[in-house]
Chain A
Amino acid sequence: MFDDFFIRALIAGLGIALVTGPLGCFVVWRRLSYFGDTLAHSALLGVTLAYSFELNIALSVFIISSLIALILIQLQKKTNLPGDALLGLLAHSSLAVGLVVIGFLTFIRFDIMGLLFGDILAVTTDDLLIIWTGGVLILLVLKLIWKPLFASTVNYELAEAEGLNPDRAKAIFTILMAAVIAISIKMVGLLLITGMLIIPAAMARNISDSPQKMVLFSIIGGLLSVLLGLFSSLEFNTSSGPSIIAASLVLFILSLFKIKQSIKLKN
C-alpha cells in the first residue's frame, strides 16, 4: 500500500516521538528550549564531521553535541556572560563553522535542505535500529534519573538537602538531550528538532493537571503529529520536519480551547 521508505519514516518518527515526549516536558519545565536549539545547531558540525571521516551521523552528532554542552558548562563557570548570550554564541558559531566546513568539502554533495528540515527519504533500516535502540536506552536512563531530575526541577535546594544528587541528574539529562538530537536529526532536521521537543509538551501543559499526565499527553501529541505530518508530507510532497511540526502546532492550537474552558470554570 505504501512505499518502503514511507513505512521506515513512520517507524522512525513514532520512535522519535516516544522519546521527545517526556524529554520535551523537562525542556519546557527547566526552560531549556534555547539550550536545545544550541545543541541542534551544533549538530551540523557533527554531520560534516561524519561525512569527512565516514562516521555514523548519529554517533558523530551525539559526540559534537555533548562536547558543545560541556563547553557551555565551562563557559558558564569561567565567564560573566549571561546564559542566553553564551547559548547564542555557541549556537551560531557552531552553525557557521559547520557551514564553512561544508564549503571546503566540495567533493561531497550535501542536501542542505534535508539537513535543516529533515528528509524522510533518507531514513535507512540502520537508522531505524539506531532510533529504536537509542530511544529505548534514553527512556530507560530517564526513568532511572526521574526522581532527582524532577525534584530538582521543582526545587533544587529541596532535592539537594534531601540527598537526591541533582547535579548528577542534570549532567545525565544533558547527555540525553544530545542523544535525542542525534537520533532525530535525519528525520526532523536540525532547525526544527527543538520544536518537536517543545510544541507537544506545550500542548500537553494546556490540558494536564499533573506531571504524569503532561508526559503522557506530550507523547500522544508527538505520535499524532508524526502521523499527521508524515501523511501530509506524502500527500503534498513537503519536507517531513516542517510537516510534523506544523501538525503539532495544529494540536497546540486545539489545546488552547481546553484552557479557555478551564479558565471559565475557575471564574
Chain B
Amino acid sequence: MSSENSTLVKLNNAGFKQNDKWLVEGVSLTVEKGKIVTLIGPNGSGKSTTAKIALGIYKNIEGSVEKYTNKVGYVPQKISIDWTLPLRVYDFMLLTENIKEEAIDEALTLTGVIHLKNKNLGNLSGGEFQRVLIARAISKKPELLVLDEPVQGVDYTGEIALYELIKRISDTLNCGILLISHDLHTVMTATDHVVCLNGHVCCSGSPMDVAKNNEYKTLFGEQASQILSVYEHKHDHVHSDKGEIKKN
C-alpha cells in the first residue's frame, strides 16, 4: 500500500487500564503525514489517554502502537511545572531539543508571544503559557504533532488564529496532527478524520460522516446539529451515566 510509508503512528485496538478500570479501550486509528486527525468526546471519554497511548507515555497497554517517527511535538492538556526551577520562556523552548535561535524566534512570533522570550515562565498568564506551549511544539519542526486542547485559555480571536496556524503548519511542514478539541466548529471544518470517543470508539470517519452519526448527536446534542445537518441514523448501543455500553 502506498500509504504505508506516510503513516506516522498507528493504534491497533489499543486500550489502557488503570486500577482495574479501563480509561479507554479498543481504539484503532492512524495518523498520516499532512493529515489532521481529531479526537472528540465528552469529559472522561479517554481522549487524553488515547493521545498518551499514541505518544508512548503509557507503557502497559492493551493492543499495540506502531510509531514511525521520533520527531514529535506535544502540547499536553495539563502541565504542572515546578517553580523551584528558574525557567525562562527561552529555556523552555530548548527543553527537549537544541534548536536554533531563529527557529525559536520564528515559532514565538507565529504564536504571538515573541515579546515574552526572556520572561520567567512562572509569570505568564494561562493563555500566554498556552501559546508558548504551542510555539515549543512547532519550533522543533516535528513530523507528528499531538495537541491536547491546545487553545484552552486563549482569547476568542486568538483561538481562531491559532487553529488557522495549526492548519497552516500541517500543510507547510507536511506533519501529521493528532488534535483533541472541544471546539466542534473547528473540528468539523479543519479536520481530515474525526474519531468520536466515549471510553471506546463510538464512531469515526470524515467530519461529514461523523456528523451524520446519531451517537455523535446523542453525545453532543443540539450544538452539533448547528454545525452540520444531522441525519437519522440507527445506532446499536447507548451509554449509561457511568459510560458503560448497553446494547439495544
B87 at the interface (CB under 8 A from A): yes
Report A-chain residues with C-beta under 8 Å of the C-beta of B82: 29, 31, 153-154
**Count of chain A residues with Cβ under 8 Å from any Cβ of B?**
25
Contact status B79-A209, CB under 8 Å: no
Contact status A209-B55, CB under 8 Å: no
**CB-CB nearest in chain A for B85:** A29
A157 to chain B, nearest CB (A): 5
A164 at the interface (CB under 8 A from B): yes
Contact status A154-B86, CB under 8 Å: no
**CB-CB nearest in chain A for B88:** A210
Contact status A205-B52, CB under 8 Å: no
Contact status B74-A164, CB under 8 Å: no
**CB-CB nearest in chain B for A163:** B70
Pick the most buried of A153, A154, A160, A162: most chain B CB atoms within 10 A of its CB: A162
Question: Bound state CA distance, A262 and B36, in angstroms?
Answer: 45
Report A-chain residues with C-beta under 8 Å of the C-beta of B90: 210
Report B-chain residues with C-beta under 8 Å of the C-beta of A213: 86
Contact status B146-A205, CB under 8 Å: no
Contact status B84-A28, CB under 8 Å: yes
> Which among B56, B73, B81, B120 is the interface contact of A154 at CB below 8 angstroms?
B81
1/0 per residue A135-166: CB within 8 Å of B?
A: 00000000000010011011101111111100
A151-B96, A155-B79 in contact; A211/B74 too (CB < 8 A)? no
Q: Which size bracket describes the interface of B in this complex?
A: 20 to 34
Report A-chain residues with C-beta under 8 Å of the C-beta of B95: 150-151, 154-155, 158-159
Contact status B55-A160, CB under 8 Å: yes
B91 at the interface (CB under 8 A from A): yes
Question: Bound state CA distance, A68 and B85, in angstroms?
Answer: 28
Which residues between 56 and 97 of chain B lie within 8 Å of chain A, taking CB atoms? 56-57, 70, 72-74, 76, 79-82, 84-88, 90-92, 95-97
Question: Bound state CA distance, A154 and B95, in angstroms?
Answer: 8
A208 at the interface (CB under 8 A from B): yes
> Which among B80, B85, B96, B98 is the interface contact of A164 at CB below 8 angstroms?
B96
Question: Bound state CA distance, A159 and B88, in angstroms?
Answer: 18
Report B-chain residues with C-beta under 8 Å of the C-beta of A160: 55-57
A147-B96, A150-B95, A209-B120 in contact; A157/B88 too (CB < 8 A)? no
Of the A-B pairs whose beta carbons lie under 8 Å apart in the complex, a sample of 17, sorted by A's number, is: A29-B82, A29-B85, A31-B84, A153-B82, A154-B81, A157-B74, A158-B74, A158-B95, A160-B56, A161-B57, A161-B72, A161-B74, A162-B73, A163-B72, A163-B96, A164-B96, A211-B86
B interface residues, Cβ below 8 angstroms from A: 52, 55-57, 70, 72-74, 76, 79-82, 84-88, 90-92, 95-98, 120, 140, 146
Closest CB pairs A-B (n = 8): A161-B55, A161-B74, A162-B96, A163-B70, A208-B86, A151-B95, A160-B57, A151-B96
